[in-house]
Amino acid sequence: MEGPQTLVIDADDTLWENNIYFEQAWDEFYAFLDHSSLSAEETRTIFDEIEIANIKVNGYGAKNFAKNLVTCYRRLVEREIAPEDVGKIIGFADRILHQPIQMLEGVEETLEYLLKRSHDLVLFTKGEAEEQRLKIDRSPVGKYFREFEIVREKDEAAYRELVGRYGWNPATTWMIGNSPKSDINPAIAAGLNAVYVPHERTWVLEQTELLDVGPGWLLQVENFRGLQKIF
């Protein structure tokens, strides 16, 4: 791409690992539930339904994940609930907040490269604001970004609001991320360009078919370092 571009970059599972810690908590929860007949897949389907319903009210993040685990436990448990059970379940999710920031391969060198090429870097993430800010503060990459934007939901309206507020030119604005649902499809629908950076452990509720329905470019790279071949 010729000339400086505005690169709007996702955080969780694009810059650093995130979903793997939720999956670890889920595995601990399923083992603790110890259901006599429901498989892990069947239990997860029920839990996903609970999450989909509650996200609309409570949003994302480890704390709300904990609430959803407790709701699922109360619905499915086959034994009398002991006083300490809820605390133990909350502990599975609470450990997510204290995991070290594990940067994905090639992220730091690529951000430095993009900045040296005079591209404008903006971090755009969704979730519980305090949790996301803490991850940004604990990461080593904050110095590369001009702005940090945290929203409750990354939908088409959120992208249009962002573009309008900053006065970006859609033709030179790119959304970069791992989630078809939150990073790629709504950005394309809002008239932006997008680069899909797949992650093998992307959250199941963020997975959907990639849609190329807008005027902008939709590109795909193997990993974050692949951005150096584009920009």
Beta bridge partner(s), residue 120: 6
Domain boundaries, the chain: 6-16+102-229, 19-98
Q: Which residues, at least 6 apart from 181, have a Cβ–Cβ distance to it below 8 Å?
A: 205, 206, 207, 208
Torsion sign across C-alpha atoms 154, 158, 160, 164: negative
pLDDT computed for residue 214 by the predictor? 80
pLDDT computed for residue 188 by the predictor? 97
pLDDT band of residue 56 (cuts 50, 70, 90) is confident
Q: Which residues, at least 6 apart from 120, have a Cβ–Cβ distance to it below 8 Å?
A: 4, 5, 6, 7, 146
Is the pLDDT score of 115 beyond 90? yes
pLDDT for 28-37, tens place per residue? Answer: 999 999 999 9
pLDDT computed for residue 2 by the predictor? 80
pLDDT for 185-209, tens place per residue? Answer: 999 999 999 999 999 999 999 999 9
Is the pLDDT score of 175 beyond 90? yes
Residue type, 148: F
The CATH homologous superfamily for domain 6-16+102-229 is: HAD superfamily/HAD-like (3.40.50.1000)
Instruction: Please state the pTM of the whole predicted model.
Output: 0.94
